[in-house]
Amino acid sequence: MLYLLLALIGLAAVAVYVLVVFTEVPGALSERWGELEGLPSNLGQWLPDQQSPAGLAALERGLWREVRTWREPGAGWFGRDRLVLQARYREKTNGEIHSVDPDVPLKRRRIKNRSGPKPT
């Protein structure tokens, strides 16, 4: 029983060490896991969508489909920003918003640096 207790204490110490290193050492997290790919250049701008199947279906119904990539800020201690794809439909006649699609979450890839550590 004593060995189990010592193993749990050791495991907890390693977890705290890793947490402190990844949060406090600059570049440790990006060196180990890579950096997130860049944000799109048209972030937050509504763009007409006339090539996708949903956009073509909207044109047949007399609506314009517009899409944008949006960045939602994270909340709380462990909250992370997330990218979502938003779509809305406007009426052709007066430009009023007719309906809105649910947000679709987008995943950002991590890009690892293959050149190795930088000399200091």
Tokens found for residue 116: 């190795």
Dist CA 89 CA 101 (whole Å): 8
In degrees and rounded to multiples of 5, residue 82 shows phi and psi of -140, 150
3-state secondary structure of 7: helix
Query: How confident is residue 39, by pLDDT bands cut at 50, 70 and 90?
Result: confident
Beta strand ranges found along 26-81 (DSSP E)? 35-36, 47-48, 63-72
User: Rounded to 5 degrees, what are φ and ψ at 8?
Assistant: -65, -40
Query: What is the predicted pLDDT for the residue at 56?
Result: 92
Closest CA to 81 of 116, 113, 44: 44
Average pLDDT, the chain: 84
Give, in degrees to the nearest 5, the angle at Cα 39 between 70 and 41.
85
How does residue 100 score in pLDDT terms, banded at 50, 70 and 90?
Answer: very high
